[in-house]
A and B are shown apart, each in its own frame.
Chain A
Amino acid sequence: MSATAPTKPPVRRRSAVDQSAAWRPLDRIGLAFCWFLGLFACALAAAIIIYLLVQGVRYLRLDMLFESPLGGVSEKDTGGLKDPILGTVLVAGLATVIALPTGVLMGIWLSEFGKPTALARAVESAVEATAGVPSIVLALFGVIIFSQPWAGFASREMAGGIIYGRSFIAAGSMLSIVALPLIIGSTREGLQSIPAHVREAAWAVGKTKWATIRRVLLPVVRPQIVTGTMLGLGRVIGDTAIIVLLLGATLRLEPGGGGGAIAETLRGTGSTLTSFVYIFAPTGDGNQPEKAYAAAAILLLMVLALNAVVEIVARRARRNSWNG
């Protein structure tokens, strides 16, 4: 939206200046201020995105994508971004694998069953509370959980039988909790927006509740589920606290032992783009700003891509209107 000329609206609309001509001066100042703040928000977003992309792309070289990082002291001997990129993809995948089915099922339960009511309310409050927990607190909780003796499957075992408690499994599990409320929320809202008579129509031809959910309701809310998952993924790949505390923040993927390449990697430690930026930022231990910018640019591109998917899905989603 441009400030001066609204782009050919279907109904002829007057500009804000004309419209407010008869207003009191104070109201007109207020309106001007709103305009200003709106434009400011756009400018801010543009500044961040453009600056980071320009800076990042300047330092980004294609070979960086295929090189592992090194713990050097100069720009030349700190290597590339291969491991952080893989790490980000890995935690995002793990978190999705856990959060997507769990979130969809919980959303279904809340919307379609939700009995006893008191329990449903408690669950909703719990989900809201979880959504509000700072991720550093979740991370701390995760460290305690995954250091327990029974959590030995999830991470490396140190000398003396101590469980290391930091691994992709640990980080992915806690990150799934970050994504969960968004998936639950979008599933539930999608289901609740389907009129009751659509469910009844399926029941009225002898379908069970589950068959109705499976074949009628879930296909309708698929776009909402995708949207919720993408928003959740955005939070997951952008999270730093859980990664730093729970992924071990080793620059490279370090296998955690225990049979099979996949299991070893999942039990092992590594880094993601966020922890990489955290380490190499000018204020971090590594202090290699160029590398940090390059990683931040990739991270930003990933998040923008997720937002674009949300946008496309929302636009493509067929309007299933039953008029009521």
Chain B
Amino acid sequence: MERLTGPPPVRQLKPLVVEEAVLEGPVESGEQVGAYGFDGGAPVGRASIVADRMQIEDVTIRYGEKVAVNSVSLPVRQGEVLALIGPSGCGKTTLLRSLNRLTEVTSTASLDGRITLDGEDISRLEPTLLRRRVTMVFQQPNPFPMSVFDNIAFVLREQSARRPKRAHLKGAVREALERAGLWDEVGDDLDHPALRLSGGQQQRLCIARALAVQPEVLLLDEPCSALDPKSTEVIEDLIVGLREDVAVVIVTHNMQQAGRVADQVAFMYLGDLVEYGPARQLFSAPSEQRTRDYIRGSFG
């Protein structure tokens, strides 16, 4: 918690508006589709480019003495949606939160191992900077209690500043709302209080908010669990579309959802990473007994 407030306010932010969805960082490591030796991928087909963004290397997370995540290693790639599935309490949300160091908010949590973002150890990055590169959307839609416009503008502005002024942010706000597929619905009344939107719209606003800072990785913690089926469908389509520009990691309880949106699936059980692989393969021919049992619904 303290670490959040410790360092002086961030002076340098990422450029607010990136002209195109340009890949930043070591894109060199990216490979064209087909270079991977699997025939998986989401039903919608693969993204045009796949690039490593984050590496989770032998990460163990404890809450006090209790091990929540047990030596997990995983890649997080742009161009792919990675779904973390598993029963409640299996550590998938903890693993997700460790990717932008939100686990540090819990004072008892400790992390061993290494997580890198574009080759840099994230524990060496300033947390507020890291969290602008790896943003997150939560289970409950939680727009800030302000207007739709201000929800995005607040994220774009530096810390608690009131600048840049509204006029200068219009383009960026519009872009974020468009990417989240919300512009058509709220574009004509950006002063509408965000908390009066419908649940699905609120959640898309939260996604827009998380996209506004042009992150490299987007973390989604069961983003549809509080939503109706129609809104869920809209958001799932959105997620699949997003993977072109950002690496997407989604935690979900819902296996059909994982099947619909994910390219890669990691099945966790009691803190262990049981199985990781292309979605189709993991769902149709899991190699582990525990995965098979879980997918068949015999536990969890």
A residues whose Cβ falls under 8 Å from a Cβ of B? 113, 115, 195, 197-198, 200-211, 214-216, 219-220, 318, 320-324
How many chain B residues touch A (CB < 8 A): the figure is 37
Interface 0/1 of B105-123, CB less than 8 Å to A:
1000000000000000000
Name the residue on A nearest B14 (C-beta). Answer: A206
Choose among B5, B105, B209, B212 the residue that contacts A200 (Cβ–Cβ < 8 A).
Answer: B105
Q: How far is the CA of A65 from the CA of B193 in the complex (A)?
A: 44
Q: Are A201 and B160 in contact (CB under 8 A)?
A: no
Chain B residues within 8 Å of A, Cβ to Cβ: 1-2, 4-5, 9-10, 100, 102, 105, 128-132, 135-136, 138-142, 144-146, 154-155, 159-160, 193, 195, 206, 209-210, 212-213, 219, 226
Q: Which 6 residue pairs are nearest across A and B when measured between Cβ atoms?
A: A206-B132, A204-B136, A211-B159, A211-B160, A206-B131, A214-B160
Check A205–B160 contact: CB distance below 8 A: no
Q: Give the shortest distance, in Å, between A5 (CB) and chain B (any CB).
A: 36
Q: Are A206 and B144 in contact (CB under 8 A)?
A: no
Q: Do residues A321 and B128 form an inter-chain contact, with CB atoms below 8 A?
A: no
Max count, chain B CB within 10 A of own CB: residue among A200, A205, A318: A205
Cβ-closest chain B residue relative to A204: B136
Q: Choose from B144, B146, B193, B226 the contact partner of A201 (Cβ within 8 Å).
A: B144
Report A-chain residues with C-beta under 8 Å of the C-beta of B100.
204
Which residues of the partner chain A approach B155 to less than 8 Å between Cβ atoms?
205-207
A148 to B: closest C-beta gap in Å: 37
Q: How far is the CB of B131 from chain A (nearest CB, A)?
A: 4
> When chains A and B are docked, how far (Å) is the Cα of A208 from the Cα of B206?
18
Q: What are 8 residue pairs bridging A and B, where the CB atoms are less than 8 Å apart in the complex? A: A204-B219, A206-B10, A207-B128, A208-B9, A216-B145, A219-B146, A318-B145, A322-B142
Q: Smallest distance from the beta carbon of B151 to chain A beta carbons, Å? A: 10
How far, in angstroms, from A214 to B157 measured CA to CA in the complex? 13
Contacts of B226 in A (CB 8 A): 323
Say yes or no: A198 contacts B131, CB within 8 Å: no
